[in-house]
Amino acid sequence: MRIALFEPEIAGNVGAVLRLGACMGAAVDLIEPMGFEWEDRRVRRTAMDYIDHVSVTRHPSFDVFKNALGSARLVLFTTKSRQSAYEFSFLPDDVLLFGKESAGVPPSVAEACNARLRIPMRPQVRSMNLATSAALALGEALRQTGSLPG
């Protein structure tokens, strides 16, 4: 199971997702360009020493990332979907994709995904924090596949 972030803009969110990946045993893919320098101290401050316990791969573009996936399914989390993540059957090698904080993903990226899911939330709010969304999605995917850490 992998988490992929499409053009993330906030260093603190990336740090939190790296920490999540370390804790749950999920690798993290970062699709560039990012809205901050990789060496930004905010990434390390949020990820703390957990950054040394997660596999991170940086990709210069979505096309390079997509070509590296092999046969793994690409599952996009988006507020524009009607299908709930809790009504979807995850596979152990799925890649969970999250868009940039300000705009999500462009239509061409959404169309390249095998599935588009949403995390149910109250209609009065627009969206969740990126790291919170990743945690909810990864937790459900790992639970379904029997892959939650001991």
| pLDDT tens for each residue of 43-88 | 767 667 788 899 999 999 999 999 999 999 999 999 999 999 999 9
Give the integer Cα–Cα distance in Å for 46 and 107: 31
For the cut 80, the answer to whether the pLDDT of residue 97 exceeds it is yes
pTM recorded for the entire structure? 0.94
Mean pLDDT of 2-21: 95
Give how far Cα 6 sits from Cα of 63, 90, 104, 123, 125, Å: 11, 20, 8, 25, 22
Q: In terms of Cα–Cα distance, which of 103, 131, 102 is closest to 119?
A: 131
Q: Residue 14 has what pLDDT?
A: 93
- Average of pLDDT values for 108-130? 95
Q: Is the pLDDT of residue 127 over 90?
A: no
What's the topology of domain 2-144?
Alpha/beta knot (3.40.1280)
